[in-house]
């Protein structure tokens, strides 16, 4: 949030929000699509994605920190590597039987798909840490929880951001695919129904709204965080 204290950044953020909203309104008028319905569906999908990403972030970073600082890391990494290669959508029947087609199931499924890039990016960053930095942290008394918060997490920050960007892209694929398969709401079902009914206007509007949302998130969240990673990388 400190990045947006500058007036220029606030203006860019405002423009990033207003311009797409105006364009979306124009597209909705031209295509005569149900803009409110699309926005509601997109909000539902984003809600599922956000919760799934937060869960994957907690699990991925936590597991990477535990394995990166443990003697069991070398043993567990090959096992995790095999697990990440299991096709995510092959697990949908298992999740459906366990939790039903609920929002909770969607969150768990998204997290199970998106956790891997975060885990392995952070794990790689921890394993390639510079010896002198680790020794300096020890000399200055960074032990226990203090070592995690003041050394390991800052060291992993670029990897967390990069892994999160990949995880979010996987999460979008997961949530849309999941909604198409078995849900009654969300942007995935909107796009699927438009495709089956050959409603090209609705399909175009839905895809455009989705792309604008991805653009807004990238511009307001990930781009500033990527710029901030240079501080930690140095």
Residue 167 confidence (pLDDT) above 60: yes
Q: Which residues contact 118 (CB under 8 A, 6 or more apart)?
A: 56, 57, 60, 61, 64, 160, 163, 164, 166, 167
- Which tens digits make up the pLDDT trace of 77-120? 888 888 888 888 888 888 989 888 889 999 999 999 999 999 99
- Which tens digits make up the pLDDT trace of 28-57? 555 555 677 888 888 899 999 999 999 999
Instruction: Tell me the average pLDDT of the chain.
Output: 80
Q: Average pLDDT for residues 19-35, to the nearest whole number? A: 61
Q: How far apart are CA 41 and CA 21, in angstroms?
A: 16
Query: Which of 131-140, 160-169, 198-207 shows the highest mean pLDDT?
Result: 160-169
Residue 219 confidence (pLDDT) above 90: no
Q: How far apart are CA 144 and CA 164, in angstroms?
A: 26
Residue 188 confidence (pLDDT) above 70: yes
Cα atoms in the 13 Å half-sphere on the side-chain side of 181? 18
- Which tens digits make up the pLDDT trace of 114-146? 999 999 999 888 877 655 555 555 555 556 556
Burial 79-114 (b: 16+ CB within 10 A, else e): ebeeeeeeebeeebeebbeeeebebebbbbbbbbbb
Give which of 58, 84, 78 is closest to 160, Cα–Cα: 58
């Amino acid at each position: 949030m400190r990045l947006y204290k500058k007036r220029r950044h606030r203006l860019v953020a405002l423009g990033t929000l207003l311009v797409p909203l105006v364009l979306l309104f124009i597209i909705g008028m031209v295509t005569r699509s149900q803009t409110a319905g699309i926005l509601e569906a997109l909000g539902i999908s984003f809600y599922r994605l956000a919760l799934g990403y937060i869960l994957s972030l907690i699990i991925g970073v936590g597991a990477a920190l535990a394995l990166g600082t443990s003697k069991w890391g070398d043993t567990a990494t090959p096992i995790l590597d095999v697990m990440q290669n299991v096709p995510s959508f092959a697990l949908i029947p298992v999740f459906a039987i366990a939790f039903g087609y609920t929002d909770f199931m969607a969150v768990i499924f998204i997290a199970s798909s998106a956790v891997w890039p975060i885990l392995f990016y952070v794990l790689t960053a921890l394993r390639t840490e510079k010896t002198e930095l680790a020794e300096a942290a020890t000399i200055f008394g960074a032990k226990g929880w203090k070592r995690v918060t003041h050394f390991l997490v800052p060291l992993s920050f670029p990897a967390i951001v990069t892994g999160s960007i990949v995880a979010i892209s996987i999460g979008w694929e997961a949530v849309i695919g999941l909604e198409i398969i078995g849900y009654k709401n969300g942007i995935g079902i909107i796009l699927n129904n438009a495709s089956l009914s050959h409603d090209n206007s609705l399909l175009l509007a839905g895809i455009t709204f989705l792309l604008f949302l991805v653009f807004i998130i990238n511009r307001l969240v990930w781009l500033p965080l990527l710029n901030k990673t240079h501080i930690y990388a140095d």
